[in-house]
């Protein structure tokens, strides 16, 4: 069975045994995503995104590390999900390489990778770990979070 999701402590321990991120070969994480896809460098950039994004806009935050097998496998699916939801903002936060950033990620309650937070109005609506077999759940959670303001009542 493929290893899709790993504990954050295992990932952080594994990070100590790997070369620095800058010396790893290029990965899919460096591939450009859809226009609503952003990479966040740290807590200040994340706080800025939250404060400048409309409260009605759904933010889908993905926490990952480049050497996580599940994170690498899920990336192309996430690009497709982002492209299918152009009214949402998708952000990726690399929790590896920088101990201070890793501590901030862990402080947000991230226990497994890849980890997702669906945020609206600065508040986490849903948080979940996901892997390739849980893509349908991630899509359903995004749809439910987009409808939380009553936007979908007319469609039912």
62 falls within a domain: yes
93 falls within a domain: yes
Q: Which residue has the tokens 């903002």?
A: 89
What pLDDT, on the 0 to 100 scale, is given for residue 153? 46
4 falls within a domain: no
User: For the segment 30-45, what is each residue's pLDDT rounded down to a tens digit?
Assistant: 567 889 999 988 899 9
Q: How many domains does the chain have?
A: 1
What pLDDT, on the 0 to 100 scale, is given for residue 130? 80
Question: CA 89 to CA 36: how far, in whole Å?
Answer: 5
Q: Please choose, from the candidates 134, 64, 50, the residue with its C-alpha nearest in 3D space to the C-alpha of residue 105.
A: 64
- Integer Rg of the chain from CA: 15
User: For the segment 75-127, what is each residue's pLDDT rounded down to a tens digit?
Assistant: 888 999 999 999 999 999 988 878 888 889 989 989 888 999 999 999 999 99
Q: Please choose, from the candidates 46, 34, 138, the residue with its C-alpha nearest in 3D space to the C-alpha of residue 86.
A: 34
What pLDDT, on the 0 to 100 scale, is given for residue 8? 45
92 falls within a domain: yes
- Tell me the pLDDT band of 135, cut-offs 50, 70 and 90: confident
Quick one: 66 exposed, middle or buried, by C-beta within 10 A (0-12, 13-18, 19+)? buried
Domain that holds residue 48: 9-19+28-130
154 falls within a domain: no
Q: Which residue did the predictor score with more confidence, 146 or 13?
A: 146
- We report the CATH number of the domain holding residue 52 as 3.40.30.10
Question: CA 114 to CA 100: how far, in whole Å?
Answer: 19
152 falls within a domain: no
User: For the segment 20-29, what is each residue's pLDDT rounded down to a tens digit?
Assistant: 444 444 455 5
Q: Residue 51 — φ and ψ, nearest 5°?
A: -80, -20
Question: CA 102 to CA 42: how far, in whole Å?
Answer: 10
What pLDDT, on the 0 to 100 scale, is given for residue 2? 23
């Amino acid at each position: 069975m493929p290893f899709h999701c790993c504990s954050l402590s295992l990932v952080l321990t594994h990070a100590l045994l790997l070369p620095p991120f800058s010396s790893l070969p290029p990965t899919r994480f460096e591939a450009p995503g859809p226009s609503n896809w952003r990479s966040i460098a740290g807590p200040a950039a994340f706080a800025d995104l939250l404060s400048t994004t409309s409260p009605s806009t759904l933010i889908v935050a993905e926490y990952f590390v480049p050497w996580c097998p599940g994170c690498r496998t899920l990336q192309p699916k996430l690009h497709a999900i982002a492209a299918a939801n152009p009214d949402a903002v998708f952000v990726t936060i690399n929790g590896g390489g920088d101990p201070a950033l890793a501590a901030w990620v862990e402080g947000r309650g991230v226990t497994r990778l890849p980890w997702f937070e669906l945020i609206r109005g600065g508040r986490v609506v849903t948080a979940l770990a996901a892997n390739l077999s849980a893509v349908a759940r991630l899509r359903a959670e995004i749809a439910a979070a987009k409808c939380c303001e009553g936007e979908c009542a007319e469609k039912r």
